[in-house]
Amino acid sequence: MYKMMTPGPTMVAENVRKARSLETGNPDLDMDFYEFYRDTCKLYSELLHTKNESLILSGEGILGLEAAIASLTEPGDRVLVLDNGVFGRGFADFVSIYGGNPVLYTTDYKRTIDVEALKDYLEKDSDFKYATVVHCDTPSGMLNDISEICPLLKEYGIVTVVDSVSGMFGNEVDVDAWQIDILCGGSQKAISCPIGLTLVTVSDAAKKMMENRKQPVASFYANLLTFKHYYTDKWFPYSMPISDIYGLRQALENIKEDTEMQKRHEEIAKKTRTALTRAGLTLYGENGYSNTVTVFRVPQGVTAQQILKKMLEDYNIMLAGSFDVMAGEVIRIGHMGYNCTEENMTETLEALDSVLRKLGVLLNAPVSFAGI
């Protein structure tokens, strides 16, 4: 296997892989599994500092985003879509698919959303059923300050949907203090499971909004209401991927035990940015850097493809390019979850230093943690 230093999926701890290989029962008929599922959801809620109920859905991170939008949106609803990144703008598509009217609030993709400017905007227009915002917009590595944005939206009576798939656990998330109504997560980012599960925390306000719909949700698989009585009725809307959930439980237990997790992410992210800029490389964003991913511009005279190919062929390390408006422009290093260790990053930066030199890039200093 190669070393997978991408911003999701990440590498997976051995105890998580082992948990995924345990013998499995029938998750629909085994009453113990309902307890296991609910306890896993409770653990997830606890780690995100919320009393809100969490649900584990069988599907990749995108399903969580779609389920939030499908469940809240009725035809004609005005929805504020905060757009300062590829995932940010992407929410507009889901809103349209479910008949809503997305109103884009578009700002510079290299900068975080300015809370004061958003406040000025809301003073003039705040007639929105709910708003969407991305915590860490992974293609650019930009981290929005949801601790300020969500409470501001709530001041104007706007329900909040946050995509923190690649933000959570590497960056602080406090769902209750920040008044996040629906928070979307995925198994393959800092949680460090393989791809396959998405998790949502749902506030009472969001539940009420779903229950008070005039029209039914135009989906079954993306309808969060189908989970409403799962525990009392002992009936899941569809058969649960039990091995994935065994792995998730172990991964969440790992996070609970790892009291230094956030501090380590913060330190490694900061050191990575320093190492790159000291060498003369340029970060993509101008502010608001996520602790989970670092994004830098492809230096003059080389292509993203050349760097990625040489990293993999010569050093067995996989980095990522980016897509959409950033395609070919940047390289992304994922340092989230199980990847986020001093050893992994030391090895990655050492390899990156050699690759850039071999490709003829002039560097001001070695790309390295040395001396930082």
Residues at the site binding ligand PLP, with contacts judged by CB under 6 A: 8, 60-62, 87, 134, 137-138, 163, 165-166, 186, 189
Cβ-proximal residue to ligand PLP, closest one: 61
Q: Name, in order, each residue with C-beta under 8 angstroms of 263's C-beta and a sequence gap of 6 or more.
A: none
Q: Cβ of residue 249: shortest distance to ligand PLP, in angstroms?
A: 21
**Cβ at position 292, least distance to ligand PLP in Å:** 9
CA distance to 1, 45, 181, per residue, from 205 (Å): 45, 16, 7
Specify the residue, 197 or 206, whose C-beta has the smaller distance to ligand PLP. Answer: 197
To ligand PLP, the closest distance from the beta carbon of 281 in angstroms equals 22
Backbone angles phi, psi at 306, to 5 degrees: -60, -45
Is 275 exposed, middle or buried, given 0-12, 13-18 or 19+ CB atoms closer than 10 A?
buried
Backbone torsion region of residue 76, taken as left when φ is above 0, otherwise alpha when ψ lies between -120 and 50, otherwise beta: left
Nearer to ligand PLP, 6 or 275 (CB): 6
| Cβ 295 to ligand PLP shortest distance, Å | 12
Give 133 or 252: the residue with its C-beta nearer to ligand PLP: 133
Nearer to ligand PLP, 66 or 353 (CB): 66
Shortest distance, CB of residue 180 to ligand PLP, whole angstroms?
15
Residue closer to ligand PLP, measured from CB, 62 or 312: 62
C-beta of 40 vs 164, nearer to ligand PLP? 164
User: Residue 165 Cβ, how far from ligand PLP at the closest point, in Å?
Assistant: 4
228-266 burial: b if 16+ Cβ within 10 Å, else e: eebeeeeebbeebbbbbbbbbbbbbebbeeeeebbebbe
